[in-house]
Structure 1
């Protein structure tokens, strides 16, 4: 269980992720915890603006966790219950021509590289624009550099963004991954952990 404070959100990460929020007092009272069976009541009353994200949390999150497909984490407030959640799973990123060129200049010619994928990330519909989404993303980056990269290779954070969230991710330094096939329902994006690895170490 991780308690969210302004220092844990901001320290070592891009200013845009940890920028001050009008809801700082709310953020300071939040905790991030792994989802378990005791949270069934909290997730059943969770609602976000995207029905698919709401339904998945209620019906599939615990199942996928039991099958070792993904791990889900809740953002909880002592009085208001679950205000957000995110799920994580292993991934690899197939390098587009631009990324291949960058790596080739470093004499690396792999066609894909390891990544951690944000399977889903959602904020309760009554608590959007309060910095909760940024806090979740900052926690993902921080915990990846602290607990994953020292033990296993992981170069990127990936996400299949919904069209209406692309701008939000871009503001937080995610980039679109160029693919041959165009998707209507989601857009693959990535964040290069090298951007913050030196700062956070």
Structure 2
């Protein structure tokens, strides 16, 4: 089964995230709420060890130092608890005709395990796509673990190369360890933000 055969997965309910939250650059938030932030990121668990580790041990330093690893945005609730985060970085995508085009790359995106399925991840993706449009990026890219490919497909991302859907492992119990799941072959995906129908109408006027 390949990408054009998605009918068996049915329709997903795209929930709207209704919990009151705000987004902050992690470096700015650290300078204002250092104690609360450190406590919250130490408690943060998105059910992915490497994502937890990066937020806890590296994200603040990378942001304060303006490192090429990218800029991390955290999402916090009214009690200053971190509900999620994403890290984005300018990058490049090589198109089929070998043209190189600038893109915005999502290097990390994670939400708190206890609120997963409530729509925050969808909201974060929409926020990133809107940001890309505002600063003039046509493409948004990411590297997905196989178990999350279907989720990103439903957010209109496409694997850059042909990908066998039968290789996706959706049940973590079939993986020997959590580390095996996190280090599975990553799937490079992209979304083209150009709406060809709107463009066609524009040129037709």
Give the TM-score normalised by the residue count of structure 1: 0.71
Q: 1:111 aligns with which of 91, 99, 110?
A: 99
Deviation at 1:41, TM superposition (A): 2.6
Q: Deviations over 1:106-142 (max 9, x none)?
A: xxx5532110000100011111000000010111111
Q: 2:116 aligns with which of 123, 128, 139?
A: 128
Structure 1's unaligned 5+ residue stretches are 1-15, 101-108
Deviation at 1:67, TM superposition (A): 3.9
**Which of 1 and 2 has greater Rg?**
2
Q: 2:18 aligns with which of 21, 25, 39?
A: 25
Q: 2:143 aligns with which of 154, 157, 160?
A: 160
1:68 aligns with 2:67: yes
| 1:17/1:82 CA distance change after superposition, 3 Å | farther
8 Å Cα contact 2:106/2:141 also seen in 1: yes
Counterparts of 1:62 and 1:168, CA distance in 2? 28
Counterpart of 1:3 in structure 2 is none
Length, aligned pairs only: 160
Counterparts of 2:132 and 2:12, CA distance in 1? 15
The runs of 4+ residues in structure 1 deviating greater than 4 Å are none
1:137 aligns with 2:125: yes
8 Å Cα contact 1:18/1:138 also seen in 2: no
CA RMSD of aligned residues (A): 2.6
Structure 2's unaligned 5+ residue stretches are 1-10, 163-182, 200-205
8 Å Cα contact 1:17/1:134 also seen in 2: no
8 Å Cα contact 2:145/2:184 also seen in 1: no
Deviation at 1:184, TM superposition (A): 4.0
8 Å Cα contact 1:17/1:137 also seen in 2: no
| Structure 1 stretch displaced more, 168-177 or 54-63 | 54-63
